[in-house]
A = this chain, B = another copy of it.
Amino acid sequence: MNRYILLSSLLVCALSCAPKATIVEQYSLKSPDSTLEMNFKLDSRGVALYSLSADGTPILNDSRLGFELRGTVKAEQLDYKDGTVSKSDVRPCYDFDRDFILTGVDTCSFDEVWNPVWGEEASIRNHYNELLVHLQQKGTSRLMDIRFRLFDDGLGLRYEFPAGGDLVYFVIKEELTEFALASDYTAWWIPGDFDTQEYEYEVCRLSEIEKNFHNNMRGNSSQTPFSTSGVQTSLQLKGDEGYYVNIHEAALLDYPCMHLLVDGKKHSLRAFLTPDAQGWKGYMQTPCTTPWRTVQVARSAEEQLASRLVLNLNEPCALEDVSWIHPVKYMGVWWEMIAGAGSWAYTDVPSVKIDNFDYSKATPNGRHSANNGNVRKYIDFAAEHGFDALLVEGWNTGWEDWANCSKDYVFDFVTPYPDFDIDALNDYAHSKGITLVMHHETSSSVRNYERHLEQAYSLMNRYGYDAVKSGYVGDILPRGEHHYGQWMVNHYMYAVTEAARHHIMVNAHEAVRPTGLCRTYPNLIGNESAMGTEYQAFGGIQPKHTTILPFTRLNGGPMDYTPGIFEQNLKEWCGNDSHVNTTIANQLGLYLTMYSPLQMAADTPEHYSKFMDAFQFIKDVAVDWQESRYLCAEPGDYIIVARKAKGSGQWFCGGVTDENAREFTLKMDFLPEGHQFKARIYADAEDAHYLTNPQAYVITEQTVSSTDSINVKMAPGGGFAISFEECR
Q: List residues of chain B with CB within 8 A of the CB of A228.
A: 80-81
Q: Does A454 belong to the interface (CB within 8 Å)?
A: yes
User: Which residue in B85, B227, B401 is a CB contact (below 8 Å) of A82?
Assistant: B227
Q: List residues of chain B with CB within 8 A of the CB of A494.
A: 451
Q: Does A277 belong to the interface (CB within 8 Å)?
A: yes
Report the minimum CB–CB distance from A261 to chain B (whole Å): 6
Q: Are B275 and A85 in contact (CB under 8 A)?
A: yes
Q: List residues of chain B with CB within 8 A of the CB of A405.
A: 169, 285
Q: Are B81 and A227 in contact (CB under 8 A)?
A: yes
Q: List residues of chain B with CB within 8 A of the CB of A226.
A: 80, 83-85
Report the minimum CB–CB distance from A475 to chain B (whole Å): 8
The docked-state distance in angstroms from the alpha carbon of A226 to that of B478 is 22
Q: Which of A197-205, A308-316, A479-487 contacts B (4 or more CB under 8 A)?
A: A479-487
Q: List residues of chain B with CB within 8 A of the CB of A87.
A: 87-88, 275, 277-279, 480
Q: Does A77 belong to the interface (CB within 8 Å)?
A: yes
Q: Does A229 belong to the interface (CB within 8 Å)?
A: yes
Q: List residues of chain B with CB within 8 A of the CB of A168.
A: 350-351, 401
Q: A285-B351, A353-B285 are in contact. Are A278 and B275 (CB under 8 A)?
A: no
Please give me the residue from chain B that is nearest to A171 by CB atom.
Answer: B406
The docked-state distance in angstroms from the alpha carbon of A275 to that of B77 is 17
The docked-state distance in angstroms from the alpha carbon of A171 to that of B405 is 10
Report the minimum CB–CB distance from A232 to chain B (whole Å): 15
Q: Does A577 belong to the interface (CB within 8 Å)?
A: no
Q: List residues of chain B with CB within 8 A of the CB of A286.
A: 351
Q: Does A230 belong to the interface (CB within 8 Å)?
A: yes
Q: Are A278 and B277 in contact (CB under 8 A)?
A: yes
The docked-state distance in angstroms from the alpha carbon of A367 to that of B414 is 48
Q: Are B283 and A408 in contact (CB under 8 A)?
A: yes
The docked-state distance in angstroms from the alpha carbon of A494 to that of B409 is 12
Please give me the residue from chain B that is nearest to A272 by CB atom.
Answer: B83
* Number of this chain's copies in the complex: 2
Q: List residues of chain B with CB within 8 A of the CB of A280.
A: 479
Q: Are B480 and A278 in contact (CB under 8 A)?
A: yes
Report the minimum CB–CB distance from A589 to chain B (whole Å): 37
- Residue-wise interface mask of A (151-174) relative to B, using a CB-CB cutoff of 8 A (1 in contact, 0 not): 000000000000100001101000
Please give me the residue from chain B that is nearest to A351 by CB atom.
Answer: B168
Q: Does A450 belong to the interface (CB within 8 Å)?
A: yes
User: Which residue in B169, B194, B480 is a CB contact (below 8 Å) of A480?
Assistant: B480
Q: Does A603 belong to the interface (CB within 8 Å)?
A: no
Q: Does A461 belong to the interface (CB within 8 Å)?
A: no
Q: List residues of chain B with CB within 8 A of the CB of A490.
A: 408
Q: Does A672 belong to the interface (CB within 8 Å)?
A: no
The docked-state distance in angstroms from the alpha carbon of A169 to that of B445 is 15
The docked-state distance in angstroms from the alpha carbon of A53 to that of B609 is 78
Q: List residues of chain B with CB within 8 A of the CB of A84.
A: 226-227
Q: List residues of chain B with CB within 8 A of the CB of A278.
A: 87, 277, 479-480
Report the minimum CB–CB distance from A401 to chain B (whole Å): 7
Q: List residues of chain B with CB within 8 A of the CB of A261.
A: 83
User: Which residue in B169, B276, B350, B447 is a CB contact (below 8 Å) of A479?
Assistant: B276
Q: Does A224 belong to the interface (CB within 8 Å)?
A: yes
Q: Name A210-264 residues within 8 Å CB distance of B.
A: 223-230, 261
Q: Name A504-520 residues within 8 Å CB distance of B.
A: none
Q: Does A662 belong to the interface (CB within 8 Å)?
A: no
Q: Name A453-481 residues within 8 Å CB distance of B.
A: 454, 478-481
- Residue-wise interface mask of A (550-566) relative to B, using a CB-CB cutoff of 8 A (1 in contact, 0 not): 00000000000000000
Q: Does A407 belong to the interface (CB within 8 Å)?
A: yes
Report the minimum CB–CB distance from A699 to chain B (whole Å): 49
Please give me the residue from chain B that is nearest to A81 by CB atom.
Answer: B228
**Residue picked from A83, A283, A447, A478, most chain B C-beta under 10 Å:** A478
Q: List residues of chain B with CB within 8 A of the CB of A171.
A: 406
The docked-state distance in angstroms from the alpha carbon of A278 to that of B275 is 13
Q: Are B478 and A277 in contact (CB under 8 A)?
A: yes
Please give me the residue from chain B that is nearest to A261 by CB atom.
Answer: B83
Q: List residues of chain B with CB within 8 A of the CB of A487.
A: 478
Beyond A83-B272, A87-B88, A89-B479, 9 extra complex contacts between A and B, CB < 8 Å: A77-B223, A77-B225, A80-B228, A81-B227, A83-B226, A84-B226, A168-B401, A277-B277, A278-B479
Ordered by A's residue number, 19 sampled pairs between the chains whose C-beta atoms are within 8 Å are A77-B223, A83-B227, A83-B229, A83-B230, A83-B272, A85-B194, A87-B275, A168-B401, A171-B406, A276-B479, A276-B480, A277-B278, A277-B478, A277-B480, A278-B480, A285-B353, A450-B450, A450-B451, A478-B478
- Seen from chain A, the residues whose Cβ lies within 8 Å of a Cβ on chain B are 77, 80-85, 87-89, 163, 168-169, 171, 194, 223-230, 261, 272, 275-280, 283, 285-286, 350-351, 353, 401, 405-408, 447, 450-451, 454, 478-481, 487, 490, 494
